[in-house]
Amino acid sequence: MNLKYSKCLGLAAVLYFTANYSAQQRVGDTASKEKTIEEVVVIGYGTQKKSNVTGSIASIKASDIEDIPAGKPEQVLQGRAAGVSVVTNSGQPGSGATVRIRGLTSFGAGGNDPMWVVDGIIVDGIGWLNQSDIESIEVLKDGASSAIYGVSAARGVVLVTTKKGKKGVLSLAYNGSYGTSQAARKLDLLNATQYATIINEGFANDNSPIRFANPSMFGIGTNWQDTIFNTGDRQSHEVSINGGNDKSTYYASFGYFDQTGIVMGDISNYKRINARLNSTHKVLDVLTVGQTFLYTHQKSQGIGVNETFGGPLSSAINLDPTTPAVVTDWSQVNSANYTNAYIIRDANGNPYGISPWVNQEMSNPLAYRHTQKGKYGWSDDFVGNVFAELKLTDGLTFKTTLNGKKSFWGSQGFTPKFYLSPTLGNLVNNNLNRVTQTKFEWSMENTLSYQKRLGDHNFNIMLGQGVYRYNIGSGESVTYSNIPVENWYEAAFYAVDAKSITASAWDTAQTRRASYFGRFIYDYQDKYLFTGTFRRDGSSKFLKYWGNFPSFSAGWNVHKEGFWKDNDIINTLKIRGGYGVLGNDAIEDFMYRSSLVSGSNYPNGEINPTIIIGYSPNTLGNPNLKWEETAQSDIGADIRILNDFTLGFDYYYKKTKDILRRVAIPGYVGVPTDPFANIGDMENKGMEFELGYKKNWQDFSLSLNGNFSANKNKVLRLEDDVEWREFAGLHSMGPVSRLQVGKPVGTFYGYTYSGVFQNQEQINSYTNANGNLIIPNAKPGDFIWQDNNGDGKITQDDMVDIGSSLPKFTYGFTVNMNYKDFDLVVFAQGQGGNMLLQGLRRLDMLDANYQTAILNRWTGEGSTNDNPRLTRNDPNGNYTKMSKYYLQKGDYMRIKLVSLGYTIPKDVTTKFGANKVRIFVTGENLFTFTKYTGYDPEIAGGNEYGIDRAYYPQARTFLFGANIQF
């Protein structure tokens, strides 16, 4: 069936088909006719005509993503909906994305991840989905549209609808691709000669003997980045079948995804297998039943994605280039460092180099990889539901749905005996560890819907009730030590002495919820629109269970008024607005009660005492805990201009109050864990714009879609009389960002400077009101720290706001062009207005390598006013104080995707039974325009924003593939 429809950005929507419509409209012959129907959108527990929707909803339809090679499905949201920020967590295979809807909603325990609903099932995320199974993704952005989900909907709701079967002849489809990946950028690090020169200069500036007598003898030395980066590969294969008749329809699919990372691919890889079956059955004219079912198996092995303390990336950045990767010339090293029996060697028996200068958690990546082989994590997820829909009378329908998810996951790993450096090794016992966990979640929802038109009045009423059970699970961990093997592929749980076995087990606390909800939708002549919802949620997280979440929204289709004359300038105009209150209970269970913790053991008896397991207070209960609430108002407009242009606009204000977070209490209270309380308020306000253009000319068609959103975040309140709290820290530098009243979450705080002292005269003239030196320890080449509080000295009280870690704006732009049998897609996205803290070099390791920017350091009067002198003692804190010296602009624009395809003419493909054969070549992450000097400016974060501790960079990938339909 060839259905043509237009897209209105700002209220993007997907064409939604019901099984009944498919059964009535699908014809069996191959010559299908074009049909024009009213577009409708999924709004949660139902659908609504797009032209009458009064909330702010963004949508991505299957046709928007079908030409995008499969990856993590949540990443297809990136740059495609205004107000939806999607940041890829890392380039590590299997890594997902951080999704934020209209900024941060909370800085408490609940986090900021949206509520994910797949075919009516509330789930933790969609990383386990097969991308080709997705029919549509709707994002409920405002309070009015999200409030129908009440609990946990404050952070926004993402509705995913998977494909269902269609009546007609069985159809078969295949989507597949294969490609390779490489690092798009590497850091400019010092080579061995430059490194030795810089280290010597630091000693010399501190009047100490230099270390390297002849730096030039080292030449280029070891490029540690070359030891960790490799060419990765990626392949995806998805097969689906669908069909049916007047009584039953079905959709089944199978998917396989395999990716090897660009950083030490043998210990950085990911595999996923999916199987799905969706079906509907018309048992009676008034009764329809159906089900959805998905099984996903995932297996992954990875390295730290933003890890300061060791790991291949951090080690490659910090290790000195004077150390060889593999020792083949003993004259280059001190042989005394290589006498340990557990030192790791290559296939030729040569030991991997050990740095005499850079140790602690840093190690030779080539040796480190041998300690990680055979370690992996895995998961098996079964997700599905069954439903029955009964048509009681004309317009009155009852539907009951039972949802469930059963998850098994765990990890296994062998730790051999090894020696990586004097500070890093395992010299006592090897061990094999296995962890297995399981969790079951289920819910049941019943809805009663009534739809009626009385003349010019149209009513849609829905009442619902639901019960939900989450986190029903348990886990076990077992470790066998000193097993009689030396490598991971021989490791198994052999019989060992009982003293060499340690094990533990645990049960999880079940979370229970119950809900009552309803919605009233009304329109008069499709001109005056109103939607009201109410949800009452109860949660076992609180002693006072219940929370109430109302919302309303209204709209006006101005172009349907009698005074609106048809014109070719503004074709349609809808004005809409709404208000809604939403909740959040995402804290640990039973925090309203005081709790005990085991481990306070004590001896009983004077002679041969026995050890008694003791318990002590863990935290204090807070019976006054209540729902964290977010109230959001929205006003917007949707316009069609000159028939071919669509424009959408939204302005919103979102305030979260009574944020649930732990409150700091004095140590003398006697509990090690701070209790929870409702402490904190925060606001977000912003604007969203979406603009689209679509035009067809005979053999050529063009579609342009762009979006831009701006958000301003501000902390309004912390606990009583507290103006700020430490938020994140870095290395030995200590706290680098804060929760500060009146500022965005995670604002960077540090010292400011007005340049570099060029001579002693400048230092002597920088005095306070008493004539004393403000920086008495300074020397020429040191930063001129500013006395921001005017007390005549430099202290922590001089730290001020030096930049926000949160982007002020995000944007995306998509171009789709078709010429005869050729198609081209170009997609770009970006963000700006934020600062990134480049924390790649370990500040507590004086001998860690530098980026080549250090070559622009101060070397004498007039040499620079931007970079300080080299010093190891650093009495002025040039390198150890948090300042703008470590911040860089996080603005970037990335050509995320370019895909060129060719569809083989039908007169060729039909000869071998295919309806469509499209071949394509795709490039991902081709170009990134940024001034940031790290690996990647796209920095995600959970409770920490904008800090680059050595992010696993996203890869530049080239893929070849085909889409085939039979």
* pLDDT tens column, 312-337: 999 999 999 999 999 999 988 888 88
pLDDT at 387: 97
pLDDT at 130: 87
Does the structure show a pLDDT above 70 at 587? yes
Structure-token match 């709701």, residue found? 157
pLDDT at 566: 81
Q: What is the mean pLDDT of the chain?
A: 91
* pLDDT tens column, 89-120: 889 999 888 999 999 999 988 789 999 999 99
pLDDT at 38: 63
pLDDT at 911: 87
Which residue in 936, 950, 935 sits closest to 830, CA to CA?
936
Question: Read out DSSP for 4-17?
Answer: -----TTS------
Separation between Cα atoms, residue 425 and residue 895, nearest integer Å? 43
Separation between Cα atoms, residue 106 and residue 717, nearest integer Å? 12
Separation between Cα atoms, residue 794 and residue 786, nearest integer Å? 7
* pLDDT tens column, 594-634: 988 887 888 887 777 888 888 888 999 999 999 999 999 99
Does the structure show a pLDDT above 70 at 34? no
Indicate the pLDDT class of residue 27, thresholds 50, 70 and 90. very low
Q: 828: which 2 tokens?
A: 């770009």
According to DSSP, the residues that pair with 365 across neighbouring strands are none
Structure-token match 């008694």, residue found? 612
Tell me how many degrees the CA angle 723-728-734 measures, rounded to the nearest 5.
95
Sign of CA pseudo-dihedral 571, 59, 686, 75: negative
pLDDT at 28: 33
Cβ count near 380 (within 10 Å): 17
Choose the most confident range, by mean pLDDT, from 29-33, 467-471, 584-588. Answer: 467-471
Instruction: Bin 734: left if φ > 0, else alpha if -120 < ψ < 50, else beta.
Output: left
CA atoms within 13 A on the CB side of 142: 32
Question: What average pLDDT does the segment 667-678 reach?
Answer: 90
* pLDDT tens column, 468-511: 999 999 999 999 999 999 889 899 998 888 889 999 999 999 99
Does the structure show a pLDDT above 80 at 17? no
> How many residues does the structure list for the chain?
966
pLDDT at 608: 79
Helix, coil or strand: residue 254: strand
* pLDDT tens column, 245-283: 999 999 999 999 999 999 999 999 999 999 999 999 999
CA atoms within 13 A on the CB side of 427: 11
Within 820-944, strands assigned E span: 822-832, 835-838, 887-889, 892-903, 916-930
pLDDT at 232: 96
Does the structure show a pLDDT above 50 at 124? yes
CA distances from 174 to 66, 132, 238, 274, 298 (A): 11, 9, 6, 14, 21
* pLDDT tens column, 956-966: 999 999 999 99
* pLDDT tens column, 834-879: 999 999 999 999 999 999 999 999 999 999 999 999 999 999 999 9
pLDDT at 943: 61
Q: 151: which 2 tokens?
A: 């609990």
* pLDDT tens column, 292-308: 999 999 999 998 777 77
pLDDT at 26: 31
Does the structure show a pLDDT above 50 at 740? yes
Within 44-167, strands assigned E span: 47-49, 57-61, 84-88, 97-101, 115-118, 121-123, 134-140, 157-162
Question: Can you give the three-state secondary structure of 380-393, one letter per residue?
Answer: EEEEEEEEEEEEEE
Indicate the pLDDT class of residue 66, thresholds 50, 70 and 90. confident
Question: What average pLDDT does the segment 59-77 reach?
Answer: 81
Tell me how many degrees the CA angle 188-189-195 measures, rounded to the nearest 5.
145
Q: Kindly state the DSSP code that residue 50 receives in the 8-state scheme.
A: G
CA distances from 661 to 147, 546, 657, 698, 743 (A): 23, 19, 12, 60, 18
Mean pLDDT is lowest, of 349-353, 597-601, 692-696, for 597-601
Which residue in 634, 621, 565, 629 sits closest to 590, CA to CA?
621
What percent of the chain is modeled with pLDDT above 70?
Answer: 96
Does the structure show a pLDDT above 70 at 385? yes
Helix, coil or strand: residue 544: coil
Does the structure show a pLDDT above 60 at 36? no
Within 341-375, strands assigned E span: none
Report the amino acid identity of residue 235: Q
Does the structure show a pLDDT above 70 at 585? yes
pLDDT at 109: 81
Instruction: Bin 202: left if φ > 0, else alpha if -120 < ψ < 50, else beta.
Output: alpha
Indicate the pLDDT class of residue 942, thresholds 50, 70 and 90. low
